[in-house]
Amino acid sequence: MAAEFQAVLPVLADHFNRHIEPVIWQFIFEQRLTNQWVCQRWTNNGCESINHMFKLFIAWRPRRLLELVNCLYKVVDMQLANL
C-alpha cells in the first residue's frame, strides 16, 4: 500500500511507513502474557455477529430507548448465562 502513497505523495508514504504501519502490525500480531508470540488476526466477525444478534432480538425494527436497553440487557444476560 505504501507504493500507492509514494506515487501520490512521498511525504504520505514516509508517514505511513514510519508511523501507521507499525501500529497496524502491533494490533494484528500481539504478544500474549505468556511472552509467546501468537499470530492473532483481528477480524470484524465478532462485532458483526453480536450486531446481527441484537438486530434479530429487536426484529430489525427501531425501538424506544428504554425498550432497546432492555433488549440489549437480555442478550448480554443470555450470553453470560451461556458462558
Identify whether residues 2 and 36 lie together within a single domain: yes
Are 2 and 29 found together in one domain?
yes
**Pair 9, 37 in one domain:** yes
Q: What is the DSSP letter of 37?
A: B
Output the pLDDT for position 39. Answer: 52
Domain count of the chain? 2
Whether 53 and 28 share a structural domain: no
Q: Are residues 38 and 7 in the same domain?
A: yes
- Residues in the chain with pLDDT < 50? 32-35, 37-38
Q: Contacts by 71-80 with C-beta closer than 8 Å and gap 24+? A: 75/50
- Residue-range definition of the domain harbouring residue 23: 1-42
The pLDDT, as a whole number, for residue 33 is 43
Same domain, 10 and 33: yes
- What type of residue sits at position 8? V
Are 63 and 28 part of one and the same domain? no
* Secondary structure letter of residue 54 according to DSSP: H
